[in-house]
Structure 1
Amino acid sequence: MDAQPSPARRAALAFIFVTVLIDVLSFGLIIPVLPRLVKQLSGGDLEHAAYWVGLFSMVFAAVQFLSSPIQGALSDRFGRRPVILISCLGLGLDFVFMALAPSLAWLMVGRIISAIASASFTTANAYIADVTPPEQRGKAFGMIGAAFGLGFIIGPVIGGQLSDVSLRAPFWCAACLSLINFCYGAFVLPESLSPEKRAKRFDWSQTRPFASLSMIRRYPQITDLIVIVLLAASTHYVYQSTFVLYGDVRYGWGPKGVSYVLAVVGVLSVIVNALLVGRMIKRFGEQRAMTIGLACGVIGFAIYGAAAKPWMFWLGLPISALWAVSQPAAQALMTREVGPDAQGRLQGAIMSLVSLIGVVAPMTYAGTFGFFIGKSAPVHLPGAAFFLAAIVLSVAWMIAVRHARRHAAAAEPATA
């Protein structure tokens, strides 16, 4: 296979990058205003608003858990293009719906629809596996990670500015971006999965939420990798569930201080994903790049938890940023073990399990943080949640080391 991608493939990858970027940007736009809109619709009751915001997060993750396998199976049977385009269209119309929502109940309906439509990330990953040679998939998945980082840098900033106009303005902006993305894709995006490589039929039994577990059992060679991805995904929730409160309790950071840190995290994420992932995978191989990335994540979380001064926390940022190498490396390794007709179901199974973790992990880290800053704690330890994340990620690192050794042992006879 040619080392250099064809113009058609480059255009397709560019569209997938833009699709993910716009999806993340759209969600980033509403991050600063959604809690305020919830508070407004709940009559200004802060306690009531906090309950609804937490409920929104849990429902969003639960719906993604249900819908991701369905989208993956649909894309395996009917192709990636129609699923991606319908998701873009659905997301755009849903943001219009949310912009007009007159009550919390209607806003909840909008969040449910957006969770279904945002499952297009599943199909986007399958699309990349279709059009990218195995040796280049790690780099391509890294570009998707860069799109995530870039979207979460730009989106909240623009959303915060638009909130001065109206709390509904960011939703209208997100709707425009998603609908423009749909129109662009309708003319540009080619199909990546040829008819002869598609699944012969749509099997509803493979779309049940826990059918993802049966699919994993069908491919035991990727079990370690899926466990690594899930453990790593669970630790991501320590940021959104505790970081703002942690920065306030330990360092006295207000909203501006927190926003500066998040901006730097996003910039570092883009740099690592866009510039370093491909180089590190090429230099060390996917197995070693994965273990190196996980080790950096463990060290970064440990620094965050132990940082008594703000400058110590800042010191951990560039180290923790290298953790981003592990995810695309693991994704690339998994795609090598599954045929073209099952890539969508694989990505759907992974996304479904990640979403299931998203129902539980935020409360786990938030509860750990709350307990260790409370009066009943045996020791005052604000960084306890980050230490817990370091422990969880260290388990993922040990599994990665074991998997690398097994892979090396299996390769020796073949090489001989």
Structure 2
Amino acid sequence: MTSTVERRSGAGLRPRALLLLQATAFLSAAGNGLAAPVVPFLAARFTGDPAHAASAVGLLSASYSLCAFFSAPALGALSDATGRRPVLLLSLAGSAAGYALFGLADALPLLLLGRMIDGLTAGNVGTVFAYLGDTAPDEQRARSFGRVGAMFGAGLIAGPALGALALRLGLRAPFFLAAALTALNAAGSYLFLAESLAPEHRARALSWRRLNPFSQLSGLLRVRHLRPLLTVGALFTTAFVSLQATFALLAKDRLGWGADAVSFAVIAVGATDVCVQGVLLERLVRRLGDARVLALGLSLVVLALATMGLVASHPSATAFVAAIVAIAAGEGLLTASFSALLSRAAGPAAQGQVQGGHQALQELGYATVPLVATQLYARAGMGAPFWAAAAAAALAGVFLRASVIEAPAPGGGPS
């Protein structure tokens, strides 16, 4: 078991720690990719008809996001007080238990319980980013976030492929494999991952206010230099989740694609993300800086979403594929550079609080935006959710400019 503190140095994050964080990112994404495609089929076993099955899938998805909305800020604040390592281990253990319960469930309430357990312990992503914020020097943050983000993309590619192989052993096998991979991840972190948060940077008190997601978010949004950045993150999440909820519908309804073609599109997204964050990002950040790279990513996303809106009225498979690839590239540039800027703004004593607050805003988007986007698609026209998403991403650019103007001196996080 490793218990020493991983300290920031001029040499940057130690290779072993970065490798373990990359493994955590990969296995987290792969576990979700293993299980997510099978959820509708397992839920259908416990419901009477397709309409009830669809409602059950929606309930399972929303329950995870809502539980994560309430837990992410608390887990972030807890990691500021106790360290990143215990919270990461708790999150991984909760995910492993949730997957295992899914595999063992013989009724819909047990599936719901499994998703709620997973959601209530959904702090692994925020904790990994807080760990990077603790240890990576300012000039290497975007590169470190990019390398970890690339492994998320690789996990998105590998997860469905592993799931397809596991399905040969039965419908429940992907959940047990996801549980085993997550448990292996937890064991590796327990044995080899050092703590990143030095005692002098830990929060002195853990009050109810820091555990309450509403009071914590309102407190973060009152911090002048954090407010524009968090708004950028929330607006981009709105745009991206709207796309996720409706792009497969557009491919089916306007291009006549089947599930296999949509799956290849998802693989293309993951592959583009790996290439951008793993290869291109570092060079761009070195030449342009984090803020300009973020602006470039947002510009790509706005143009690609507008193209998707045009595909709704002028069907073109070529334009659709180009837009999907551009969105993946823009998201890859945006995510790592945004995380670096947010980490820098948080300061050494509030990495967990700020990353947890950002994750809570993301989960709120995942719980609510699909409902709005699909209604826009059904009632206002197939292009409506894509035009609305493009407008949200463009508005994020306005707040990005404000965040650059109001950027604090290094170390100036929330109190």
Compute the TM-score of the two structures, normalised by the length of structure 2.
0.92
Name the residue aligned to 2:342: 334
Q: For 2:329, which of 292, 298, 322 is the aligned residue?
A: 322
Q: For 2:353, which of 325, 345, 351 is the aligned residue?
A: 345
Name the residue aligned to 2:383: 383
Give, in angstroms, the shift of residue 406 of structure 1. 5.5
Q: Does 1:100 align with 2:107?
A: no
Give, in angstroms, the shift of residue 157 of structure 1. 2.1
- SS of corresponding position for 1:397: helix
Give me the CA root mean square deviation.
1.9
Contact 1:212 1:352 in 2 (8 A): no
Give, in angstroms, the shift of residue 322 of structure 1. 2.8
Equivalent residues in 2 for 1:122-141 (5 A)?
122-141=126-145
Give, in angstroms, the shift of residue 11 of structure 1. 1.1
Give, in angstroms, the shift of residue 335 of structure 1. 1.9
Q: Residues 2, 208 of structure 1: CA spacing in aligned structure 2 closer, same or farther, 3 A cutoff?
A: closer
- SS of corresponding position for 1:115: helix
Give the whole-Å Cα distance in 2 for the aligned partners of 1:166 and 1:74.
Answer: 39
Q: For 1:166, which of 152, 167, 170 is the aligned residue?
A: 170
Give the whole-Å Cα distance in 2 for the aligned partners of 1:124 and 1:63.
Answer: 19
Give, in angstroms, the shift of residue 83 of structure 1. 1.0
Give the whole-Å Cα distance in 1 for the aligned partners of 2:243 and 2:33.
Answer: 15
Corresponding pairs, count: 399
CA displacement 1:282-339 (0-9 Å, x = unmatched)? 1101111111110111001111221221011122233223312122222212222223
Q: For 1:362, which of 351, 367, 370 is the aligned residue?
A: 370
5+ residue gaps, structure 1, are 373-380, 412-416
Give, in angstroms, the shift of residue 343 of structure 1. 0.8
CA displacement 1:210-258 (0-9 Å, x = unmatched)? 1233332452112111100110011121233112211110000001111
Name the residue aligned to 2:11: 4
Q: Residues 131, 407 of structure 1: CA spacing in aligned structure 2 closer, same or farther, 3 A cutoff?
A: closer
Name the residue aligned to 2:73: 69
CA displacement 1:143-181 (0-9 Å, x = unmatched)? 232122111111112213322321100011011101111
Q: For 2:274, which of 263, 270, 274 is the aligned residue?
A: 270
Give the whole-Å Cα distance in 2 for the aligned partners of 1:240 and 1:293.
Answer: 17
Contact 1:268 1:318 in 2 (8 A): yes
Q: For 1:223, which of 210, 224, 227 is the aligned residue?
A: 227
Give the whole-Å Cα distance in 2 for the aligned partners of 1:407 and 1:209.
Answer: 24
Moved more, 45-54 or 208-217: 208-217
Q: For 2:94, which of 90, 97, 103 is the aligned residue?
A: 90
Name the residue aligned to 1:257: 261
Give, in angstroms, the shift of residue 405 of structure 1. 5.0
Contact 2:43 2:53 in 1 (8 A): yes
Give, in angstroms, the shift of residue 403 of structure 1. 3.6
CA displacement 1:353-411 (0-9 Å, x = unmatched)? 21112221111111111113xxxxxxxx4222111111111111122234445669x99
CA displacement 1:44-76 (0-9 Å, x = unmatched)? x11110001111111111101100011111111
Name the residue aligned to 1:19: 24
- SS of corresponding position for 2:349: helix
Identity of aligned residues (%): 33
CA displacement 1:60-102 (0-9 Å, x = unmatched)? 1110110001111111111111111122122222221211011
Give the whole-Å Cα distance in 1 for the aligned partners of 2:377 and 2:218.
Answer: 35
Give the whole-Å Cα distance in 2 for the aligned partners of 1:83 and 1:405.
Answer: 34
Moved more, 175-184 or 311-320: 311-320
Contact 1:32 1:160 in 2 (8 A): no
Give the whole-Å Cα distance in 2 for the aligned partners of 1:207 and 1:288.
Answer: 34
Name the residue aligned to 1:184: 188
Name the residue aligned to 1:377: none
5+ residue gaps, structure 2, are 1-7, 411-415
Moved more, 211-220 or 279-288: 211-220
Compute the TM-score of the two structures, normalised by the length of structure 1.
0.91
Contact 1:212 1:353 in 2 (8 A): no
Contact 1:142 1:273 in 2 (8 A): yes
- SS of corresponding position for 2:213: coil
Equivalent residues in 2 for 1:192-211 (5 A)?
192-211=196-215
Give, in angstroms, the shift of residue 2 of structure 1. 5.5
Contact 2:307 2:319 in 1 (8 A): yes
Moved more, 254-263 or 394-403: 394-403
Give the whole-Å Cα distance in 2 for the aligned partners of 1:336 and 1:354.
Answer: 19
Give the whole-Å Cα distance in 1 for the aligned partners of 2:371 and 2:63.
Answer: 13
Contact 1:23 1:118 in 2 (8 A): no
Give the whole-Å Cα distance in 1 for the aligned partners of 2:262 and 2:222.
Answer: 44
Moved more, 114-123 or 386-395: 114-123
- SS of corresponding position for 1:164: helix
Give the whole-Å Cα distance in 2 for the aligned partners of 1:246 and 1:212.
Answer: 38
Give the whole-Å Cα distance in 2 for the aligned partners of 1:104 and 1:57.
Answer: 13
Give the whole-Å Cα distance in 1 for the aligned partners of 2:75 and 2:197.
Answer: 15
Give the whole-Å Cα distance in 2 for the aligned partners of 1:84 and 1:95.
Answer: 17
Name the residue aligned to 2:46: 41
Contact 1:215 1:346 in 2 (8 A): no
- SS of corresponding position for 1:122: helix
Give the whole-Å Cα distance in 2 for the aligned partners of 1:338 and 1:310.
Answer: 42
Name the residue aligned to 2:286: 282
Moved more, 340-349 or 309-318: 309-318
